Every structure is written in structure tokens, then in C-alpha cells.
Structure 1
Amino acid sequence: MDKYPFLQKAGSLFNDRHVTRIGDVTEAWAGQPLKGPALIGAPLSKSSISHSGACFAPGAIRKALGGISAYSAELREHVIDHLYDAGDIQIHVTDIVKSHEHIYQTIHGILADQPDWVPVILGGDNSISYSTIKAIAETKGTAAVFQFDAHHDVRNTEDGGPTNGTPFRRLLDDNIISGQNLIQLGIREFSNSLAYEEYVKDRQAEVHTMEMIREKGLLRTIQDALPAVQKRADSIFISVDMDVLDQAHAPGCPAIGPGGLYTEELLQAVRFLAQEADISGIEIVEVDPTLDFRDMTSRAAAHVILHALKGFKQSR
């Protein structure tokens, strides 16, 4: 109100006329043409096999992202000038299968109408990956996935149904993606089982453990894998389970553990992929704001998105 010049909206951040934050360039999507990256939330956590508040992650990541400057000192320009946010996909109160179907139908439907959209998906637990990648594969052609994760996520479905530990088992069993087009990065010691290791290897998935990455380097590993994958697939999807990071870097994940990636390694890798490959989308999963410390994990997730946007900017 003009009568009260010092009264501002509750929760407003300090305003500096020389700083443009991501929140300043973000606008709710209302059906306008989508070209390039735009946000969408998939706040599902009922399918987690352990305690999870991942349903709160889309809001926490948006809050962290909105307050960060859009300016890249390395590029000497903003990473994005305008960012649409499509909002959150409705999750069924009790039915996990229906929730997965809601996610699939929504992303598939928007991509069918907006083929130039590059979804930036804010999960949610890792179970959403079945729905997101299925939608990508059915609208974008043969899909390859670079999966940053401490776990294979190929648990059987007989012991608990479609959980956050089963998405890549379901994707492979349903022939939505081929094993050769699944690149697993950051598989951590004492976090998996022999049966599931044998399963992904039988399916010819490319598995890179943390020990292998420490010996070779994450970026070099991706650089070596990418050319062959690009020949086999029409596009590449980036799936980031934040528990791929060492617990010191991402305390707000349900399955934290030592010996994971460093944040800078993950940021560099995501930026490289977004710059060098035909990216069909990116998802961030397994952030639990109820377990986080000073929003460290949500902030790290926000920076993963920023570095993806940086890569997109550099590729164009």
C-alpha cells in the first residue's frame, strides 16, 4: 500500500536492486508454451521403506533455490532469465500406485503437449523415478539414464510392492530402459546386496562404485561413458538421489552414509552432462527436510539445479 511505504509482504527477503535471484525470474506456469527447463514437484514419500519427509522437499528446494542469485560469475551472466514453475502433482492420500500414475500421466501429458519442455522434477522419494522415466521414454524416444545414487534401487517388488528401492528394477523388467542405457554412479560400499549387484550386471547396466570413482574421477568416468550412450539413446535423463553425497554434505537424506561423493563433484558432473548431452530432464529425489541441518541438503539440491541450468546455458 502506497500509504505505508515500509510495509512489505510477510517473509520478504532483503531487496538489493543489483541482485537478481532465481525467485525473481520464476513465474507460475499457466499453460504458456514451455521451451527448456521448468520446475514441477512430485511430493511423494509414502512409498519409502524407511521414515521419510521427502513430500516436503519440493517446497524446501524451491525456497532454497528462490533465494540464490541467478548470476554465474564464471559465465558472467544469469544462468536463466525466466523460469516457469508448473506446481506440484497431486498425490493420493493412501494409494501409492495411484500416486505413481498421477505423476506419470501429468509428466507424459505435459510433454505430449509441450515437446520442448525439459522437466526439472523435485521429488519426492526415489519411487517416482519409475513414473518420470517412463513418461520421458514414451515421449522422447530411447532413454538413457545417468543415475547418481548410493544404491542400485533394484529391490524385488514381492517383499513390499513399488517402493523407493524398486524403481530401476521395474524400469528394467518392463523394458522401459535397457540395462546398457543405465549408468549407475556412486554405488556405495555396504549399501547393497550381492543379489542386486548380480541383477544389474546381468542386465548389462554400467555400474561405477565409489571406489572406482575415487580411482578414476567422476567427471572422467562420465566423459568415457557418454559417447557410447549417446549413440544408443535419443536423449539422456539425469536422476540424482541426494544420498549419493557423503553424509557430511547431505545430512537430510533418509539413507545417509560415509564415503560418498563430494558436493563439488556432483555439481561438476551435472553441469557437464547438461552441457554436452541432449538432456530430456533431471530429477532430484530423497531429500528429507525434517532430517536436514540448516537446510544443507535442500541447498545442495538447489545448486544441483543451478549447475544443470548453467550447463543448459553453455550448450546453447
Structure 2
Amino acid sequence: MKIPYLQKANAAFLDRHVTRASDLIQEWGGESFSGVGIIGAPLSKSSISHSGACFAPGTIRKAFSAFSTYSIEENIDLASCMIRDLGDIAMHVTDVLQSQNRVYETIFRVFEENPLWLPIVLGGDNSITYPSVKGFSKAKGKVGVIQFDAHHDVRNFQDGGPTNGTPFRSLIETGTISGNHLIQIGIRDFSNSKPYFDYVNNKGVTVYTMKDVRQKKMVDIMRKSLDKLKDEVDSIYVSVDMDVVDQSQAPGCPAIGPGGMDTQDLFEAVSYLGEQSIVEGLEIVEVDPTVDFRDMTSRVAAHVILHFLKGKRKSVEI
């Protein structure tokens, strides 16, 4: 017998005229599909500092329930968009290299079965970028990467091995991507060393510092970046390290710092990139829910994804 007003424990308030962004996410049953699919890569044992980033895929998914599907700024509703949730990649308990290899194998295997998959990868620390892009490039061909980050992430391997500080060195040294096809945006003062700037400069990497971000329009940076890559690569992958955002707006990162990017600049950038058909993958890394405040950083991450999807909806049907 149904009793009026009785509902499931801890049920959220329901408004018949509001679609929550979390309603877009549907569990994947293993069938063939095309379009947007979220996959978690909960690895943080490879971080050079304390990190609970392994918990981020869950908190980012949860953060979707705080937002609706409607963009009032663009008069676009994502309510009909389906996001398949592929689940999380199982990490090895002790072997970091094995865990990273599992990310690579899983990303590529999903592409083998579903070549029109548009991946949204939820890290995890930044070490997952190397295997993620490696799997992506094996499926897509020649890849360009647009990286939003406070750091170059090209540390040497001798002082710690393949950590969250080395993914882009790994990508370049293995020939997975060319330095000429890497664009770094938001590199921050007093967060890097000159030898690592010299390394990316010698490899042909394009670097936009936070000074560049402050002085130039974000859309102009995006246009220039796309103009550089679009005729040289088959596909573009977007990597967002959440520590690119100022610590006041993204406190839940292992490497917070002042002088970072404003969230609105980041949202504008990923929305614009989402409009481009050559942009076919997005990852978000370095969210640590264990040091966050009221899930602020996970909510920013969810917004990044929604703005990216808004861009896709403006250009193509998703």
C-alpha cells in the first residue's frame, strides 16, 4: 500500500520543472554506443604530495546533483543529453605502473568497441594523463593536447619515477605526442623551475602563463591554439588540472596556490573548445575531496564538464 508523503530516506527535493544534471548520467550496460561517456581513473598513489584524488570521481559525479541542465546564458538545455557512466577503472593496490597501464588498456579497449566514444575521464592525479592520452592517441591517430595547468608537469624520472609531475614528459619522450602539439595554459609564477621551462621551450611546447591569461582574451588564446593544431593533428584532447584555478575558488587541490585562473575564464575556454569537432576528449585531474571545503572544487569540475557539453550541444547533437 502506498502511503502519501512517504518517500525514500534522504531523498532530494523534486521539482517537476527542473532536470538535474545528475539525471543525465545513466549506468552503461556494456552495449555498443556513441557519444559522451564518463569513466573514472581513481589513482593518487603516484602523487608526489599527499593526495586523496582517488576519491574525486565519486564526488564529481555527486556534484552534478547540485546543478540543472539549463544554460540561461546560451538558452541551451542539456536535458535530452545522455551521459553513459562506464564506471571506474580498478587500480592495483600497490603497483603504480600496473595501475597506469590499466588506464591505458581500458581507454583503448573502450575505443576499440566504441570508436565514436567521446570520453570524459575523471582522475585521479595527473599521472593518469599519460596512459589516458596514450590510449586516446592509439585510437585517434595524431593527437594534440591543450593543457590547463599551473605546472609544466615535465619533471625528471630519476627523482621519483612516473608521478603526477611527469605525465607530459612521458608523452613527449615516448613520442606519443610531439612537443609542437602541446599547448599549456595557466602556467603560474613560482610554481615551476627554469630547467623545466627550458625543457618545454626546447621541445616546441606553446606556453601561456597566467600573465598571458590576464592580459589576453581567453577566446583569442583558444582561437590561436586551435589554429596551431587543427591542420597538424587528427584529434585534440583537453586536460584540466584543477590547480590551474586560483586557490580561493578551488581549495580542494593538492597543489593550491594564489594567482591562478578565474573559473569564468576556464568555463569560457572549455565551452569554446567543446564547440570544435576536432576536440574529442576531456579529462579532469587533481581534485582532492579530503581537503576540499563543501565540495567546492568538485562542483567546479562538474561545471567544467557541463560547459564543455554546452559547447558540444551548440555545434552538434549530443
TM-score, L = length of structure 2: 0.96
- Name the residue aligned to 1:158: 158
Structure 2 Cα separation of the partners of residues 156 and 131 of structure 1: 17
1:48-197 alignment to 2 at 5 Å? 48-81=47-80, 82-197=82-197
Once the two structures are superposed, residues 239-298 of structure 1 have per-residue CA deviations (whole angstroms, 9 ceiling, x without a partner) of 000000011110000101111100000000000011024122100000001111111100
Structure 2 Cα separation of the partners of residues 77 and 182 of structure 1: 31
Query: How far is 1:228 from its partner?
Result: 2.1
Structure 1 Cα separation of the partners of residues 65 and 282 of structure 2: 18
Note if contact 2:25-2:84 (Cα within 8 Å) is conserved in structure 1.
yes
- Name the residue aligned to 1:223: 223
Query: How far is 1:153 from its partner?
Result: 0.2
Structure 1 Cα separation of the partners of residues 10 and 185 of structure 2: 39
1:236-255 alignment to 2 at 5 Å? 236-255=236-255
Once the two structures are superposed, residues 50-86 of structure 1 have per-residue CA deviations (whole angstroms, 9 ceiling, x without a partner) of 0101011000000001331111223434225221100
Amino acid at match of 1:78: D
Q: Percent identity?
A: 54
* SS at 2:129 equivalent: helix
Once the two structures are overlaid, the 10-residue window that deviates more, 54-63 or 217-226, is: 217-226
Structure 2 Cα separation of the partners of residues 285 and 207 of structure 1: 19
- Name the residue aligned to 1:312: 312
Root-mean-square deviation (CA, aligned residues, Å) is: 1.2
Note if contact 1:80-1:309 (Cα within 8 Å) is conserved in structure 2.
no
- Name the residue aligned to 2:284: 284
1:39 paired with 2:35, answer no
- Name the residue aligned to 1:27: 26
CA 1:7/1:101 → structure 2, altered by over 3 Å: closer, same or farther?
farther
Structure 2 Cα separation of the partners of residues 25 and 214 of structure 1: 35
- Name the residue aligned to 2:300: 300
Once the two structures are superposed, residues 14-71 of structure 1 have per-residue CA deviations (whole angstroms, 9 ceiling, x without a partner) of 1111111122232100112322211110111100000101011000000001331111
Note if contact 1:148-1:244 (Cα within 8 Å) is conserved in structure 2.
yes
Query: How far is 1:219 from its partner?
Result: 2.2
1:14 paired with 2:2, answer no
Structure 2 Cα separation of the partners of residues 249 and 297 of structure 1: 7
* SS at 2:85 equivalent: strand
Structure 2 Cα separation of the partners of residues 60 and 11 of structure 1: 17
1:274 paired with 2:274, answer yes
Once the two structures are overlaid, the 10-residue window that deviates more, 223-232 or 96-105, is: 223-232
* SS at 1:284 equivalent: strand
Note if contact 2:289-2:298 (Cα within 8 Å) is conserved in structure 1.
yes
Note if contact 1:136-1:280 (Cα within 8 Å) is conserved in structure 2.
no
* SS at 1:161 equivalent: coil
Structure 1 Cα separation of the partners of residues 270 and 142 of structure 2: 20
- Name the residue aligned to 2:206: 206
* SS at 1:268 equivalent: helix
* SS at 2:30 equivalent: coil
Note if contact 2:76-2:310 (Cα within 8 Å) is conserved in structure 1.
no
Once the two structures are overlaid, the 10-residue window that deviates more, 160-169 or 222-231, is: 222-231
Note if contact 1:80-1:313 (Cα within 8 Å) is conserved in structure 2.
no
Note if contact 1:140-1:280 (Cα within 8 Å) is conserved in structure 2.
no
TM-score, L = length of structure 1: 0.97
Q: Which runs of 5+ in 1 are unaligned?
A: none
Query: How far is 1:7 from its partner?
Result: 3.3
Amino acid at match of 1:211: K
Query: How far is 1:220 from its partner?
Result: 1.3
Structure 2 Cα separation of the partners of residues 72 and 199 of structure 1: 41
Structure 2 Cα separation of the partners of residues 7 and 39 of structure 1: 33
Structure 1 Cα separation of the partners of residues 259 and 277 of structure 2: 28
